[in-house]
Structure 1
Amino acid sequence: MQPWLTELQQLLAHGDAVVLVTVARVEGSTPREAGAKMIVTRDSARYTIGGGHLEWRAIEIAREVLRDGMRVPRARRLERLSLGPSLGQCCGGAVVLAFERADVGDLDWVAALAKRLHAGKATQRSVSFGPLHEPVRLTDIDEGIQAPDCLLWDGAGFDEGNLLLTETIVSREFPVMLFGAGHVGTAFARILATLPCRVRWVDEPGAPFPPAPASAQWSNVTIDAKAAPETAVDEAAPGTAFVVMTHNHARDFVLAERILRRDDFLFFGMIGSHTKRKQFELQLAAHGLDPARIARMVCPIGIDGIDDKAPEVIALSAAAQLLQAAEAARAAPAAVPDQPFSMLQPLTDHDTNLS
């Protein structure tokens, strides 16, 4: 789900009034894209629309809207800000920012949007900036539309009285199944907890998963101790990214064969050396797997040019490679099941004794 939406829902449920700031339109070079959001309260600002003087000015305006909202229901405002000398930023473009005051009365649409995104439904959110202060509207969109979008319909200018912000909001989360709770697996899980994905972290009972208090804030990570971890492969949804970081080569091979026989995954990366890869290629071929399927196995995992074998470095490199695969899939979703991520094959060689 969108992190800003989770945060907004929590704040409103606690009775706080906030201002949701959205980049409604971009002109030329800007630090963030249309649809980027920030939440401003009386004493804090969360998430970012680009930083610098632009963000400072946006926070200032948001607090004005927050105060105005004490007198005007559904206080909203649009501001066009140039990113030139007046703001001391060198992007050179301009942004139109939308400011929406929200309080407990907005919980209905916020909760409804959260529920839709959790179910994987893309949704259009429409916000009127005209004089009637209409409530936020949520509508279904065509199932084939999965890309986010943000449009500001303003007629000839901001004084036309028919201003409408419409944005297509989609969940950018993708499912990840991580095997292995050793040093590298734990470092990787810690990074995944900050990324737009849903993680199922699998290992045997008694594996060194972090204690509950340490992982309690990893809201998108589910720990799953299974006597036969490989059975989790069959339970994964199509489009799952599989990452294998166990210390057991025999188990790694079982997992590799099971994953490759699916052939409907987003990404399959495994920690190891080039020697391990060659051995697995021979064994997988002997088990009847087609070379084209075997080629989809990314091992050693990690992006080119990073050779440090510290667990945190391997984890960061692997996470960057996983994000490359997710971006490639978004750019050409129909190609995911059929085309190997050959361009993502690494040249680094990671040992497995730290996994």
Structure 2
Amino acid sequence: MQAWVTDLQQLLAHGDAAVLVTVARVEGSVPREAGTKMIVTREAARHTIGGGHLEWKAIEIARQVLRDGMRMSHARRLERLSLGPSLGQCCGGAVVLAFERLDVADLGWLATLGRRLAAGASTVRSVSFRSSRNGATQTDSDVGAVLLSEPEPGVESPDCLLWDTGAHTGSHAGANTHANADETTLLLTETIAPNDFPVVLFGAGHVGAALVRVLGTLPCQVRWVDARDAAFPSPEAFAALGASNVAIDANDAPDEAIDAAPPGTSFIVMTHDHSLDLELAERILRRGDFVFFGMIGSHSKRKQFEHRLAARGIDPLQIARMNCPLGVDGIVDKSPEVIAISAAAQLLQAIEAAAHAHASPVQAALPHSA
């Protein structure tokens, strides 16, 4: 699930209005990629589009859109901001930010989007904006509804595109633009994909517990498996972790979690038993459709396992995919917390590589002015 969807649903259900800020287009070096989102209310801001003066300016504009919403309920606005001396940031690029005022009337499409993401389905969200041809910004309520649709066949990866529809109109009353400026309709279309990657973690020892604390902060769904029920934290201690994306599985047959995992799962093995590690490794490698497989241990453990797995008929190319020792190179500290951070970093590298390998082709560039 995309966290901003859940947060917006909770805010709007309580009767609050909010502005959804989207990085609609990027030019050059910028802090965050197109499609990144932030939610702004009268009192607070959630998530981030990159911090610094850019974010401060975005919050200021969003609150102006909230005030405009007192007379136009679905105010929308586009702003192009350069990340140079004017904003005191040295990135040197520019971003076009899209601002959408949302209220309880938007719960319908948000609920539909949330259900689709929870079911693992990508969704195209389309939102229209008006912009003056001379580059002046404006706030407008005379715009269409947010539309959700199915992605094109074979296009499931997230993307974000702001493009000129070619539809032009004269200026109209209420727009914050020059009186005689023609306007064009711009369309923001973004493919919103589920961003929770599945992880199966074997082992509830000190390192496993430390890794759960890290994974609990990441966009993943974790199945935490160990045959020893007593090894897991107490319900009170587990609740205190705040890791709502982690499910405990005290299972006498931990290999069942391998068979039940969806394709593209990442597996991390750090049990108290080397013989169990070997059994799990064999089952994972025979399956083969994982994104990442890491196992805690030394170089000598890896050598032993390579020989034993090869003797069991595992293809050497598959064995080479096993990350053991676990963690990024150059970190030698063996404390549980350090190992956990190093392992999580290595896992994220694999997730990023898999995402880039399946990314959709780059779409056509957009007009420079918004």
Q: TM-score, normalised by structure 2?
A: 0.86
Q: CA deviation at 1:148?
A: 1.6
Contact preservation (8 Å) 1:181, 1:207: no
1:177 to 190, 196, 200: 200
Contact preservation (8 Å) 1:20, 1:101: yes
Secondary structure (helix, strand or coil) at the match of 2:54 reads: helix
2:333 paired with 1:308:
yes
2:97 paired with 1:97:
yes
* 2:152 counterpart residue number: 142
Identical-pair percentage: 70
Q: CA deviation at 1:74?
A: 0.8
Q: CA deviation at 1:123?
A: 1.0
* 2:121 counterpart residue number: 121
2:247 paired with 1:226:
no
Which amino acid in structure 2 is aligned with residue 26 of structure 1?
V
* 2:69 counterpart residue number: 69
Q: Deviations over 1:189-217 (max 9, x none)?
A: 11111112111111124242223344343
CA distance in 1, matches of 2:120, 2:229: 34
1:298 to 314, 317, 323: 323
Contact preservation (8 Å) 1:261, 1:289: yes
CA distance in 1, matches of 2:127, 2:236: 40
* 1:2 counterpart residue number: 2
* 2:262 counterpart residue number: 237
How much is the aligned-residue C-alpha RMSD, in angstroms? 1.8
CA distance in 2, matches of 1:293, 1:128: 48
Show structure 2 runs of 5+ residues with no match.
Answer: 131-139, 169-176, 360-370
Moved more, 138-147 or 296-305: 138-147
* 1:12 counterpart residue number: 12
Q: CA deviation at 1:33?
A: 1.2
1:196 to 219, 233, 247: 219
2:51 paired with 1:51:
yes
Contact preservation (8 Å) 1:201, 1:222: yes
Q: Deviations over 1:170-190 (max 9, x none)?
A: 122221100011111111111
CA distance in 2, matches of 1:24, 1:262: 40
Change (3 A) 1:105 1:213: farther
2:238 paired with 1:215:
yes
Which amino acid in structure 2 is aligned with residue 66 of structure 1?
L
Q: How many residues align?
A: 334
* Deviant stretches of 4+, over 6 Å: none
Secondary structure (helix, strand or coil) at the match of 2:9 reads: helix
CA distance in 1, matches of 2:144, 2:237: 44
Contact preservation (8 Å) 2:302, 2:324: yes
Contact preservation (8 Å) 1:25, 1:96: yes
Secondary structure (helix, strand or coil) at the match of 1:162 reads: strand
Which amino acid in structure 2 is aligned with residue 272 of structure 1?
G
Secondary structure (helix, strand or coil) at the match of 1:129 reads: strand
Which amino acid in structure 2 is aligned with residue 184 of structure 1?
V
Secondary structure (helix, strand or coil) at the match of 2:6 reads: helix
Change (3 A) 1:213 1:112: farther
CA distance in 2, matches of 1:215, 1:19: 34
* 2:311 counterpart residue number: 286
* 2:163 counterpart residue number: 153
* 1:186 counterpart residue number: 209
2:346 to 321, 345, 349: 321
Contact preservation (8 Å) 1:149, 1:169: yes
Contact preservation (8 Å) 1:117, 1:171: yes
CA distance in 1, matches of 2:333, 2:232: 24
Contact preservation (8 Å) 1:242, 1:265: yes
CA distance in 1, matches of 2:330, 2:147: 48
Change (3 A) 1:155 1:146: closer
Contact preservation (8 Å) 1:65, 1:75: yes
CA distance in 2, matches of 1:133, 1:331: 34
Contact preservation (8 Å) 2:165, 2:187: no
Which amino acid in structure 1 is aligned with residue 148 of structure 2?
L
Q: CA deviation at 1:252?
A: 0.8
Q: CA deviation at 1:10?
A: 1.7
Show structure 1 runs of 5+ residues with no match.
Answer: 335-355
Q: Deviations over 1:323-350 (max 9, x none)?
A: 111111122249xxxxxxxxxxxxxxxx
Moved more, 315-324 or 8-17: 8-17
Q: TM-score, normalised by structure 1?
A: 0.89
Moved more, 303-312 or 79-88: 79-88
